[in-house]
Amino acid sequence: MAEDRAGWSVPAHADRAREFAALHRPGAPLLLPNAWDVASAAALVAAGFPAIGTTSLGVAAAAGQPDGVGVTRAATVELAVRLRTVRCLLSVDIEGGFAPDPDGVAAVAAQLAELGVVGVNIEDGRADGTLAPVAHQQAVITAVKRAAPALFVNARTDTYWLTPAGWPTPQAAAGAAAETLDRLRAYRAAGADGVFVPGLADPATIARLVSGVDAPLNVLYLPGRHTPAELAGLGVARVSCGSLLFRAALAATVRTATAVRDGNPVPADLPSYAEVAALIDGLARAGG
């Protein structure tokens, strides 16, 4: 046990990473809410979520940068630095890894592990809408695990995800299940601790991936398409919110501003100025 800046005992990084891994239970999934700044992370932890992911869309948009094209490494690392004050198990979305080569991605992952991050998401979707070759993605995963063995590597395949052309097309959907199974098995063989298929909704396909891959399956929560309980019943081990919370925050921002402008009521159940200030001041006292 090490000590944080306030002198409290805190588990070592490897213990915390194991704790995070243990939350991935098929049939009783970890619900991972995704934050994009310190305030959103701190509020989610205060609401009882022990583990927090980051949303690359949120991190990118907050900084005014495009998502998914590998330009937000600095913003992502900066956020991880700032989130050291938030007591939670933190998994960071590093898009494709912010580097063209496996060693470059491994360096990013090692830097994050040094900052106390317990997990990363690494995706195979590329900015041009294509998928990285399987062998390349395996090399990336292996390099990351070699550089940061304790880090929970969640290998994401974008076979079902959006592309500029608008995934999934009917043709793509037909072949996607087989392609997805092949990729997830390959990523697991390369060392991935978990596998992630955002955009997936079909229960039969989810069940097939759960039984066909020897790794916890992570699915993106799609509002109106399924509930966490239904996903649990299919054997899913982790449910992510992706950009949902960020988009809900953005919508609330605009909705509240237009309500003020139009003389309509605004939500009454908001945290007060003092409550938000106390949330952040509490971080500084605890460890920052």
Complex with a second copy: residue 21 or 60, whichever CB lies closer: 60
Contact region with a second copy (CB under 8 A), list: 5-13, 130-138, 178-186, 262-270: 262-270
Q: Which of 130, 169, 211, 253 binds a second copy (CB under 8 A)?
A: 253
Does position 128 interact with a second copy (CB under 8 A)? The reply is: no
Beta-carbon contacts of residue 121 (< 8 Å; ≥ 6 apart): 53, 91, 92, 93, 94, 154, 156, 196
Contact 92, 120 (CB under 8 A): yes
Does position 227 interact with a second copy (CB under 8 A)? The reply is: yes
State the minimum distance, in angstroms, from the CB of residue 166 to a second copy.
9
State the minimum distance, in angstroms, from the CB of residue 124 to a second copy.
18
Complex with a second copy: residue 209 or 283, whichever CB lies closer: 283
Complex with a second copy: residue 29 or 102, whichever CB lies closer: 29
Contact region with a second copy (CB under 8 A), list: 81-89, 102-110, 116-124, 151-159: 81-89
Q: Which of 23, 155, 215, 244 binds a second copy (CB under 8 A)?
A: 244
Q: Which residues from 24-53 bind a second copy, rule CB under 8 A?
A: 31, 33, 35, 37-40, 42-44, 47, 49
Beta strand 2-3 with 9-10: parallel, antiparallel or unpaired? antiparallel
For residue 197, what are the β-bridge partners? 219
Q: Which of 203, 212, 233, 288 binds a second copy (CB under 8 A)?
A: 288
State the minimum distance, in angstroms, from the CB of residue 94 to a second copy.
18
Does position 265 interact with a second copy (CB under 8 A)? The reply is: yes
Which two three-digit tokens encode residue 115? Answer: 């900052």
Q: Which residues from 268-287 bind a second copy, rule CB under 8 A?
A: 268-274, 276-277, 279-281, 283-284
User: How far is C-alpha 1 from the geometric centre of its chain's CA atoms?
Assistant: 27
Complex with a second copy: residue 36 or 187, whichever CB lies closer: 36
Does position 258 interact with a second copy (CB under 8 A)? The reply is: yes
Does position 245 interact with a second copy (CB under 8 A)? The reply is: yes
Q: Which residues from 83-102 bind a second copy, rule CB under 8 A?
A: 83, 85-86
Give the closest residue to 197 by CA, choosing from 214, 211, 209. 209
Q: Which of 65, 130, 169, 211 binds a second copy (CB under 8 A)?
A: 65
CA–CA separation, 34 and 41 (whole Å)? 8
Does position 257 interact with a second copy (CB under 8 A)? The reply is: yes
CA–CA separation, 52 and 145 (whole Å)? 21
Whether the link from the prior residue into 168 is cis, omega within 30° of 0, is yes
Beta strand 217-220 with 238-240: parallel, antiparallel or unpaired? parallel
What is the three-class DSSP state of 35? strand
DSSP per-residue string spanning 187-204: HHHTT-SEEEETT---HH
Complex with a second copy: residue 22 or 254, whichever CB lies closer: 254
DSSP 131: B
**R_g (Cα) of the chain, nearest Å:** 19
Q: Which of 10, 110, 134, 162 binds a second copy (CB under 8 A)?
A: 162
CA–CA separation, 84 and 109 (whole Å)? 16
What is the three-class DSSP state of 9? strand
